[in-house]
Amino acid sequence: MSIENVIDGSDAGFMKDVVEPSKEVPVLVDFWAPWCGPCKTLKPMLERIVESQGGKVKLVKVNTDEHQGIAQQLRVRGIPAVFAFKDGKPVDAFTGALPESKVTEFIEAQKLRFEASS
């Protein structure tokens, strides 16, 4: 797995891992927990789709059991929750394990949003 495109995130590293890179490419933040069944379905799918993008999208995975600060700030109510960041701000999100086609549509929409403003 490419270290640049899919990483494990933390509250402490949020600026470096999410906010700063989101000025260059869309950054998806996947809030998950080890006990969450739907998270186990979504996570490998997200990783695979992001890896297939060749660096045009970045994924940061945040374990909400270990890092609750950012999830609380974003008012995450259920997991899995995926937020898309652009220019340091959340611009879109979805909750739950979506079918792969919907996840791909979500990612493509974030790339289009990014390209439209650059």
Residues 58, 95: Cα–Cα separation, whole Å: 18
Residues 80, 62: Cα–Cα separation, whole Å: 10
Quick one: residue 104, left, alpha or beta (phi over 0 = left, psi -120 to 50 = alpha)? Answer: alpha
Strands 81-86 and 58-63: unpaired
Q: Cβ(7)–Cβ(56) under 8 Å?
A: no
**36 counts as catalytic:** yes
Kindly name the residue from 18, 27, 36, 76 that is annotated as catalytic: 36
Residues 97, 61: Cα–Cα separation, whole Å: 15
**40 counts as catalytic:** no
Kindly name the residue from 39, 50, 62, 103 that is annotated as catalytic: 39
Active site residues: 36, 39
